[in-house]
């Protein structure tokens, strides 16, 4: 993954086509060498991550569990147009928060540039949001992991990242998706959440359909997810059919009702933004 100078030019041009109220999109402006990204979203950190992924900067975003009822609102109130287009959907979502990120466009493409940019994103989130993140860097891969959230009373508390939990998957020949399901089942048992992983459709084909021999002995779920994504991407790279490269993931959790967490594989095409 590299940050290219055209990334920042593209972001500025892209901004002219964005609606600042879109819950998945990010607005961008540039003055000289300074770039500003702005998200107004139910999950602004994920929105920022998806925006960067479209231009080659892949960062996995693990969102904290929502638990504070007053930090939610009806999706029909938050986005009445979207609700009307989806059978008048009426369920609770986290309130939209503003998140701004200002940085100087780097002139070179180095891992240091990427790390610095993503650390700026974590720092901005920690300053502007009632939630906090840390940046994990592992073999050139990046993940924003939650460290603080709000409890049911609105008090800031330490977050318990879902993927910090360890799992054991016995050796066996299974589809990649089946290995992921075994991991999700163990996470559900350990946390009391309904955990799902990791369906996505790649060029019309469900992710994880290939069979591999795999095992994991007391490994973090984060490492297991990364390994399974790598295996899938390696197999797809050897296929004559075109498969978009799914090289990172996202985690979303909700504890305001029936508690659940969803782990989803992501690519630069995962965003619905133009």
pLDDT at position 96 over 60 = yes
CA distance 116 to 199: 31
Segments of 122-204 assigned E as strands: 132-138, 141-150, 156-158, 166-175, 194-198, 201-202
Query: Which pLDDT tens digit goes with each residue over 39-67?
Result: 988 889 999 998 888 777 889 999 988 88
pLDDT at position 7 over 50 = no
Query: Which pLDDT tens digit goes with each residue over 66-81?
Result: 888 788 788 888 778 8
pLDDT at 22: 42
**Angle between helix 44-53 and 111-128 (nearest 10):** 160
pLDDT at 204: 63
Cα of 25 vs its chain's centroid, Å:
13
CA distance 55 to 181: 30
CB 261 within 8 A of CB 187: yes
pLDDT at 200: 66
Residue (of 102, 120, 118) closest to 32 by Cα position: 102
pLDDT at 92: 75
Query: Which pLDDT tens digit goes with each residue over 184-207?
Result: 999 999 999 999 998 766 556 678
Confidence class of residue 129 from pLDDT cuts 50, 70 and 90? very high
CA distance 83 to 73: 13
From residue 213, alpha-carbon distances to 171, 172, 216, 231, 250 in Å are 7, 5, 11, 10, 25
pLDDT at 4: 42
- Cβ neighbors of 200 (< 8 A, separation 6 or more) are 206, 207, 246, 264, 265, 266, 270
pTM of the model as a whole: 0.84
CA distance 152 to 16: 39
Domain residue ranges of the chain, discontinuous segments joined by +: 1-156, 160-274
pLDDT at 15: 37
């Amino acid at each position: 993954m590299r940050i290219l100078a055209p990334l920042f030019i593209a972001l500025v041009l892209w901004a002219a086509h964005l609606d600042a109220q879109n819950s998945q999109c990010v607005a961008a402006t540039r003055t000289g060498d300074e770039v500003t990204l702005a998200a107004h979203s139910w999950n602004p950190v994920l929105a920022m991550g998806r925006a960067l992924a479209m231009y080659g900067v892949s960062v996995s975003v693990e969102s904290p569990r929502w638990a504070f009822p007053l930090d939610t609102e009806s999706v029909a109130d938050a986005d009445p147009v979207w609700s009307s287009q989806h059978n008048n959907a009426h369920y609770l979502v986290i309130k939209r928060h503003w998140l701004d990120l200002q940085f100087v466009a780097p002139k070179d493409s180095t891992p240091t540039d990427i790390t610095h940019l993503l650390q700026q994103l974590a720092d901005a989130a920690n300053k502007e949001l009632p939630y906090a993140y840390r940046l994990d860097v592992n073999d050139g891969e990046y993940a924003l992991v939650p460290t603080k959230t709000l409890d049911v009373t609105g008090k800031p508390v330490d977050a318990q990242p879902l993927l910090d939990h360890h799992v054991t998957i016995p050796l066996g020949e299974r589809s990649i998706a089946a290995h992921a399901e075994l991991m999700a089942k163990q996470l559900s048992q350990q946390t009391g959440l309904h955990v799902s992983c990791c369906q996505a459709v790649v060029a019309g084909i469900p992710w994880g359909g290939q069979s591999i021999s795999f095992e994991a002995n007391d490994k973090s779920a984060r490492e297991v997810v990364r390994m399974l994504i790598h295996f899938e991407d390696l197999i797809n790279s050897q296929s004559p059919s075109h498969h978009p490269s799914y090289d990172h993931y996202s985690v979303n959790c909700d504890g305001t009702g029936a508690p659940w967490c969803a782990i989803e594989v992501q690519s630069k095409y995962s965003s619905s933004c133009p």
